[in-house]
Amino acid sequence: MKNFILQNENGIYFECGYSCDNAIYISLGSETFFITDGRYTVDAKENIKNNSEIIISNDLLKETRRVLKKSKIKKIHFDPNDFSVATFETLSLKLDIKFIQKPNFSKHKRIIKTEDEIQLIQKAMELGRDGFVKFAEYVAKDGFWKSEQYLAYMAQTFLSQNGNYDLSFSPIIAINENSAKPHAVPTSKIYQEDDLILFDGGIKFERYCSDRTVTFGNDYSKLDIYQREQRFSKYEQQKVYDIVLKAQQTAIKKAKLGMKASKLDSIGREIIEKAGYGKYFVHSTGHGVGLDIHEYPNISARSDFILEENMVFTIEPGIYLPNEFGVRIEDTVVLKKEGAIIL
Amino acid sequence: MKNFILQNENGIYFECGYSCDNAIYISLGSETFFITDGRYTVDAKENIKNNSEIIISNDLLKETRRVLKKSKIKKIHFDPNDFSVATFETLSLKLDIKFIQKPNFSKHKRIIKTEDEIQLIQKAMELGRDGFVKFAEYVAKDGFWKSEQYLAYMAQTFLSQNGNYDLSFSPIIAINENSAKPHAVPTSKIYQEDDLILFDGGIKFERYCSDRTVTFGNDYSKLDIYQREQRFSKYEQQKVYDIVLKAQQTAIKKAKLGMKASKLDSIGREIIEKAGYGKYFVHSTGHGVGLDIHEYPNISARSDFILEENMVFTIEPGIYLPNEFGVRIEDTVVLKKEGAIIL
């Protein structure tokens, strides 16, 4: 695919090593163009790693059309998810060029990570784990009688190291019945002793994301979150936790090159189903991680992906009992010849 | 405009008093539909304020097509900025309905605020100002030798009241030459005594945004940020600040009902031009504020809007001297018969 056009920030970064929130990137094979506005002139010149021609304009679409017209190309590829109807119409109006839809082509290009990319994600994971450790220490010492909102703020503080790192997403902090919502938003609910608390968060290191989830029990004396064992005060919480843990660890252990992603999804799912909680595992097993927090491959029952070396993805089964509680355990792994390695 | 379809979260919230990050709203006049997935069933039922039929599905577009087909309508309006090429094609494929483009129709509907909305924005502004005061106190006491990134983290802490409130946007903290970038991103640059520091931030109260900018000088003994006077150590900083302040205060004083927004833009701009800094005022005077941080009306030289009662917008002239420093002073105002009132 020689000729393509991109608007997505991470997609552009992947192509040329720089991006910003107002840019269009055009590839015409050996010739590439980075079009942005005057706010980013200096940064673009300093950071673009290939030989893209940098074009500064207040009207990016007009410049894009000018480049395309001048190029005399007959066709160009684009991702129909990457452009609004309005932008695409302005871009393509009366141009004698065929725009060919290639849904998610940038995510497909990014699915196998380089060793450099894997190292960045590993670094992001390490920094992220530091945040989890600090959060666990904080919860054990000062967390009681704080709200989910406040604990989420503290989670941000620890993950970002006081603003030094951007977050992959707003962390989820969910207590007891709120943890039964897979995408819970922190509320004013107060954390008390013996509560179950779910913490899903990650940071970015040089733009690459980390992603991790811990469901904390109540053994505050040894909240070693590198070790996945947790103790819960309620019998069913412990039972459900141990099932999810078995599902997660088994999936990690059995992931291998050449396996269908749908097969990997089924490994943990079958464990949860056999334990009688199948209908409470309401999402897929995982997703790719990279510049975006959600990339390819999808690890789901309907996924067509085959697992290859140097794919990076999450393994995060969960059980969600409405109005009671939820458990999710998540690691991000890289797939190697020897299997899945937790980053 | 009886029949329309919306995907934008704030646009949907405005229609029915509830929204989430995965929803489609259809209005067919007296009949309205809110389509979302199972995660939001309970919240949607509890919070939707009109009589919208709530439809839960894992395939929002399929349900949307079903509703549209069943309705037998001949045409429907949509905002071409609100739908990607991919989504729109899936939505409209082989439907015998004419989709009529109405760019930004939701923002046009929201341009005149109700008294309730004005009160929410006022509350957001009050809470936001508290954050500015706390930040000023912090800077005077402990801010020296901290990085922009750390100060931005502290700004978030004060604005959000430790995570209690969402922010309108990631606050800008920019020192000396970094403040010459209107959309500066916080860096590792260290704040020292006598530095100029620009702080642009806001919070959301019940989804409504606040927006405010202060450029701090070095008179730490009375950082009364409700009063706009500031003292700077460098002559040109003081000179530029006083010009921007005069431009901003004059624009606020002269804004009135029936005035063209472009005329309001010119009031501050002429003051800056006459002082010889015209080419360094590189953006428009302001923008509407509401559910979105950038709404209508635009207060710019090319704006066609006429100012009406209960419009809410910012007045934020600035002067940006590349590689030296920048000054911006911003308030959010509501326009009333008696003129612009700072919220």
Q: Return the pLDDT at A39.
A: 82
Q: Give the integer Cα–Cα distance in Å for A2 and A13.
A: 17
Inter-chain CB proximity B163 and A181 less than 8 Å: no
Q: Which residues of A touch B (CB under 8 A)?
A: 38-39, 79-89, 101, 103, 149-150, 152-154, 156-157, 160, 162-164, 181-183, 186, 282
Among the partner residues B86, B163, B183, nearest to A81 by beta-carbon distance? B86
Q: Give the integer Cα–Cα distance in Å for A318 and A278.
A: 10
Identify the band that residue A196 occupies on the pLDDT scale cut at 50, 70 and 90.
Answer: very high
Inter-chain CB proximity A84 and B89 less than 8 Å: no
Whether A195 shows a pLDDT value over 80: the answer reads yes
Inter-chain CB proximity A84 and B83 less than 8 Å: yes
Q: Give the integer Cα–Cα distance in Å for A328 and B263.
A: 57
Q: Return the pLDDT at B225.
A: 55
Residues 6+ apart with CB under 8 A from B275: B243
> What are A125-157's pLDDT values in tens digits?
999 999 999 999 899 889 999 999 999 999 999
Among the partner residues B86, B101, B103, nearest to A80 by beta-carbon distance? B86
Q: Return the pLDDT at A182.
A: 86
Instruction: Identify the weakest region by mean pLDDT among A6-20, A29-43, A49-63, A120-134.
Output: A29-43
Q: Is the peptide bond before B297 cis (omega within 30 degrees of 0)?
A: yes
Quickly list H helices, A229-319.
235-254, 261-274
> What are B236-265's pLDDT values in tens digits?
999 999 999 999 999 999 999 999 999 999
Q: Return the pLDDT at A188.
A: 92
Q: Looking at residues A22-49, what average pLDDT do you find?
A: 93
Inter-chain CB proximity B85 and A86 less than 8 Å: no
Query: Quick one: tokens of A309?
Result: 């070396």
Q: Report chain A's mean pLDDT, rounded to a whole number.
A: 95
CB atoms within 10 A of CB A224: 12
Q: Name the residue with tokens 């004005």.
A: B118
| Range A3-109 classified under CATH 3.40.350.10 | yes
B79, closest residue in chain A (CA to CA): A86
Longest C-alpha distance within chain B, in Å?
70
The minimum CA-CA distance between A338 and chain B, rounded to whole Å, is 37
Inter-chain CB proximity B150 and A163 less than 8 Å: yes
Q: Looking at residues A74-88, what average pLDDT do you find?
A: 98
> What are A234-271's pLDDT values in tens digits?
999 999 999 999 999 999 999 999 999 999 999 999 99
Query: What b/e sequence results for A228-259 when a residue is b if at least 16 CB atoms lie within 10 Å of its CB, and e otherwise?
Result: eebebebeebbebbebbbbbbbbbbeebebeb
Residues 6+ apart with CB under 8 A from B306: B258, B259, B260, B261
Inter-chain CB proximity A183 and B86 less than 8 Å: no
Q: Give the 3-state secondary structure of residue B343.
A: coil
Among the partner residues B38, B84, B186, nearest to A84 by beta-carbon distance? B84
Percent residues over pLDDT 90 in chain A = 87
Q: Return the pLDDT at B226.
A: 58
CB atoms within 10 A of CB A187: 14
Q: Looking at residues A195-224, what average pLDDT do you find?
A: 89
Classify domain B115-342 by CATH architecture: Alpha-Beta Complex (3.90)
The complex scores an ipTM of: 0.90
CB atoms within 10 A of CB B53: 12
| A-chain residues near B93 (CB < 8 A) | none
CB atoms within 10 A of CB A39: 18
Helix (H) or strand (E) holding B335: strand B331-336
Domain ranges of chain B: 3-109, 115-342
Longest C-alpha distance within chain A, in Å?
70
Q: Return the pLDDT at B221.
A: 65
**Contact yes or no for B168/B204 (Cβ under 8 A):** yes
Question: CA torsion B274→B277→B281→B285, rounded to 10°?
Answer: -30
Q: What backbone phi and psi angles, to 5 degrees, belong to B83?
A: -130, 135
A163, closest residue in chain B (CA to CA): B153
**CA dist B169 to A58, B88, B153, B189, B222, Å?**
23, 28, 13, 21, 28
Per-residue pLDDT tens digits of chain B, which is 343 residues long? 889 999 999 999 999 999 999 999 999 988 999 999 988 888 899 999 999 999 999 899 999 999 999 999 999 999 999 999 999 999 999 999 999 999 999 999 999 999 999 999 999 999 999 999 999 989 988 999 999 999 999 999 999 999 899 999 999 999 999 999 888 889 999 999 899 999 999 999 999 999 999 999 887 665 555 567 889 989 999 999 999 999 999 999 999 999 999 999 999 999 999 999 999 999 999 999 999 999 999 999 999 999 999 999 999 999 999 999 999 999 999 999 999 999 9
Among the partner residues A150, A160, A182, nearest to B153 by beta-carbon distance? A160
Query: Quick one: tokens of B326?
Result: 């920048």
Query: Quick one: tokens of A172?
Result: 């989820």
CB atoms within 10 A of CB B302: 9
Q: Return the pLDDT at A224.
A: 55
| A-chain residues near B156 (CB < 8 A) | 163
